[in-house]
Amino acid sequence: MLNKYARAFFTRVLTPFAAFLIRRGVSPDTVTLIGTAGVVAGALVFYPRGEFFWGTVVITLFVFSDLVDGNMARQLGRSSRWGAFLDSTLDRVADGAIFGGFALWYAGQGDDNILCAVSIFCLASGQVVSYTKARGESIGLPVAVNGLVERAERLVISLVAAGFAGLHKFGVPGIDVLLPIALWIVAVGSLVTLVQRVVTVRRESAEAEAAAAASGPETDGHTSHGSEATP
């Protein structure tokens, strides 16, 4: 839902800004790099110190670069494999910084080993969820499932909760509990999404092998597990 509706809305809103950057000679790759650097700085400078409100403000300002660079590429007619690769790779870097910032807080001043572990699980599971889809598609499967919690949901749930939790430092009582709740939701949702994607790939793989076997006796539908190195 978030990918379908929110992305469409913000794309329309940010189109004039993207056009402005193009007129100034800024490239989509530059926007991607600056946006990622801003997210990483916001997460690793503010979150480990417990400055969740200001960290979220900084991250939110830069996270929209993910929409701006794609908008610029479309306006320029430069959509490319390299741009898609760079964008996807740096998305993983940004996500790692956000949940890494939470983990550093709970490992330090936050003093909560369980929530530190949950933050690390959110970081790792988010990377694996993305990998399962990319890996499935790379071996020719459609991976026709999105899952319960994708990247957009992980970011919105975590950042909104962190921003509100940061209001605790402004005197709002009890609101800091929102971040732990959000981390647990993201952790469980990511686990469910991972299972959904693994089950889907297993089913699609079996269907593809059955179709290959049925196409003729000369077609071998089985592929050795060791025939291709894992990237």
Q: Per the residue annotation, which of 91, 95, 176, 220 is the catalytic one?
A: 91
What are residue 110's phi and psi, to 5 degrees?
-70, -25
Rounded-to-integer distance, Cα 98 and Cα 151, Å? 12
The alpha-carbon radius of gyration of the chain (Å, integer) is 20
Residue 91 among known ligand-binding residues = yes
Residue 31 among known ligand-binding residues = yes
Residue 29 among known ligand-binding residues = yes
Residue 70 among known ligand-binding residues = yes
The DSSP string of 134-157 is HHHHHTT-------SS-HHHHHHH
What are residue 90's phi and psi, to 5 degrees?
-70, -25
Rounded-to-integer distance, Cα 175 and Cα 127, Å? 29
Residue 111 among known ligand-binding residues = no
Residue 80 among known ligand-binding residues = yes
Residue 42 among known ligand-binding residues = no
95 is catalytic: no
Residue 66 among known ligand-binding residues = yes
* CA distance from start to end of the chain: 30
Rounded-to-integer distance, Cα 20 and Cα 31, Å? 12
Binding-site residue ranges for a CDP-1,2-diacyl-sn-glycerol:
29-32, 70, 74, 80
Binding-site residue ranges:
29-32, 66, 69-70, 74, 80, 87, 91
Binding-site residue ranges for Mg(2+):
66, 69, 87, 91
Active site residues: 91
